[in-house]
Amino acid sequence: MLPGPTVPACLLALLGVFRGCFTAPTFETFTALVIGLVAQTGRRTVCGMLAGAGLQLSWAHHRAHRFFSHATWSPDELGVRLAQLIAARLVGEGERVRVVIDDTLFHRVGRKVFAAAWQHDGSAKGGKKTGRGNCFVIAAIVVDLPFCSRPVALPVLFRLWRPAGNTGNTGKAGKAGKAGKGGADQRCPAKTALARELVDLLAEALPGRRLSVAADAAYRGKPLHGLPANVRFVSRLPVNAELGGTTPPRTGKRGRPRLRGRRLGKPAELAGKLTWRKTTVVRYGEEVTVEVASTVGQWYGSWHATPLRIVLVRRPGRRGFDIALYATDPDMADDEEVVADYAGRWPIETAIQNGKQITGAGQAHNRLQAAVERTAPFALLVQSLVIVWYALHGRPSEDVDRRRLQAPWYRTKTDPSYLDMIAKLRRVIIAARFTRTRGDQPTREEIAEIQLAWAAA
């Protein structure tokens, strides 16, 4: 086996996209930790990544820890370059780039962990949906892979969110509600404001592409006003939203012109006024028949005078509506696209689950601010990189056949899972370690001659 980390040529070509984000020594550490995270089958702590790369005896563990806590590199720059790579390789020319926004909690313990606090945890079991840890707002690009029947989400950009009153390391003085008189000035921006930062970064990174951003109903309000021209925002309307018509034309009289249109009512009232039609939409990778009704109007309480396309959806033959959606670009968005884009939120839930359970995001024991803000995003970026590598160099049919041979009870398995993808790359990395890739290594013939000489001696 070759000493040190050996990077397969196909993976090194992808990692070369990020070379400009680091100095030469830091890029070497970055490459080794990517290899170690993929190759590691145990705990993916920082030392676990070092052991996965086979460097635990040749590198000091401080080198790996300092990469996250003190080295000069930006997760935003890595995410932007990865987003450009995904858009160029996995999204068709002229197609809209589908982006999904969501947040999740990575559980952490310890009083000295930066920004760790008790907060909402939607994935928690039981009635109390709370947990202690670090909450990240995540932006992922959703792509359709030819060998997967359902869309796949690739996380690219991240923001650490802190509850009100949490100013960093939490001790007795850092508990919520005891931030002091000036605590309001130290609050972290709301999750919606952090999501807006991620959307602006993607819009700037992909200037020639149309972006369709989907999020749940919690992401709304003033921070999202005035989105870039190439961005369309899709989300769900709450049942108590007061809707109105578009801004009426100016009357020419003195005074401030009217901004709010005539009242349309809540979605339940609107469902009885609109004309419904039957159509076929793509949801969760499947074509289904639904009834839709739409109009152009306002949700002044959240979006002020911004014109919205309001889409109501229900199952055929049902009265009322099942769900109410809206999009901020009423002229360019049709009803089927709005339904499909909002349903495309689900892949990010799968990506987050894979990140926690398979990739090991959140298992590192960092405490300093820079390390906390970088380590979990680093793991999710590597997860997206694994999927990009597999889409370009993987062999899905062989992996599915091998998996069905190993587990014949999976009779309906037709698509490779993320576990199959990372296992494939892990095998490629292991094979590269035992393959002659450098000129200073002996050939097989030379090794055989030495073995014969030892035997003769």
The domain locations on the chain are 233-248+259-336
Rounded Cα distance between 118 and 130, Å, is 7
pTM equals 0.88
pLDDT of residue 441: 60
Dump pLDDT digits (tens) for 405-433: 888 888 888 899 999 999 999 999 988 87
Helical axes 369-393 vs 75-90, angle rounded to 10°: 20
Alpha-carbon 244 to chain mean position: 34
Q: For all residues of the chain together, what is the average pLDDT?
A: 87
- How is residue 339 written in tokens? 């339904």
Which of the residues in the chain have pLDDT under 70? 1-5, 167-187, 435-444, 446, 457
- How is residue 313 written in tokens? 């959806």
Residue from 99, 61, 67 nearest 80 by CA: 99
Which residue reads 């947040």 in tokens? Answer: 103
245: left (phi over 0), alpha (psi -120 to 50) or beta: beta
Dump pLDDT digits (tens) for 34-44: 999 999 988 99
Contact criterion met (CB below 8 Å) for 165 and 178: yes
Which residue reads 């920082």 in tokens? Answer: 46
Rounded Cα distance between 378 and 158, Å, is 10
Rounded Cα distance between 407 and 236, Å, is 40
Which residue reads 């000129």 in tokens? Answer: 439
